[in-house]
Amino acid sequence: MKSIGKIPSHIGIIMDGNGRWATRRGLPRNFGHKEGVKAIERTILACLKYGIKYCTFFAFSTENWRRSQEEIYGIFSILRDYLSDPNNIFMRNKIKVDSIGIMDPFPEDLINSINNLKENTKDYENLTVIFALNYGGRDDIIRAVNNLLSSNKQKVTDQEFLKLLDTKEIPEPEIVIRTSGEMRISNFMLYQLAYSEMFFPKTYWPDFNEKHLLKIIKEFQKRDRRFGGVH
């Protein structure tokens, strides 16, 4: 592991710009998603190198069902190939895989391959990679509230509420990165990112690499995080 000073424990990534990356090259949009997997692998290896403990990739949002069937099934097929590869990056590097969101509407074999990978990696501790799959921040909050309403609890604290969200014991992200220059949260972890530091590099996701991540970490180290207080 390479020591470079204060390291965020959790980074959340909104992988934007895959479609534009492909369109610019005259390719179908799913080529951008496929190329995006290489950026996921580069990022995972960089997280291991710098000792980041949690990294969440926003792979499919509750709103992504609005895309064409062709694109949706293209993403499913990329996910399936990637997560069912027996020689995957997770097993090779003792990385725990987790997911947030409700996978129920996904094809059954895809759900099975994700669940198998989660089961096979559950004791690994080098890094936890979380895939947000059919995830929405509002949906996460609403499900937590509905669970509360059907329980006997009359009141909860902030810390108790955090444990009711899909992220449960996972720390809140200290850094959220959205690539491609768009500056929106698009329903990503709405409750958990109350004090996250936001970064909006112009790079399209398929071009994102270790250098971009390192630049963000260096910038994060310079930011004055006051959490509403004063120094």
Catalytic residues: 16, 64
Work out how close the CB of 62 gets to ligand FPP at its nearest, in angstroms, rounded to a whole number: 12
Note whether 15 binds ligand FPP by CB under 6 A. yes
Quick one: which segment of 74-82, 116-124, 151-159, 163-171 binds ligand FPP (CB under 6 A)? 74-82
Which residue in 11, 13, 31, 36 binds ligand FPP (CB under 6 A)? 36
Note whether 136 binds ligand FPP by CB under 6 A. no
220 residue type, one letter: F
Residues 215, 220, 225, CA angle at the centre, nearest 5°? 170
Note whether 78 binds ligand FPP by CB under 6 A. yes
Note whether 137 binds ligand FPP by CB under 6 A. no
User: What separation in angstroms does the CA of 226 have from each of 171, 195, 230, 231?
Assistant: 18, 9, 6, 7
Note whether 201 binds ligand FPP by CB under 6 A. no
CB 179 within 8 A of CB 201: yes
Residue with tokens 């910038």: 219
Which residue in 51, 53, 64, 120 binds ligand FPP (CB under 6 A)? 64
CA distance linking residue 181 with residue 17, whole number of Å: 9
CA distance linking residue 38 with residue 76, whole number of Å: 16
Note whether 185 binds ligand FPP by CB under 6 A. no
Residue nearest to ligand FPP (CB): 19
User: CA gyration radius for the chain?
Assistant: 18
**Which residue lies nearer to ligand FPP by CB, 204 or 220?**
204
CA distance linking residue 71 with residue 112, whole number of Å: 21
Residue ranges that bind ligand FPP, judged by CB under 6 A: 15-20, 33, 36-37, 40, 57, 59, 64, 75, 78-79, 82, 131, 180
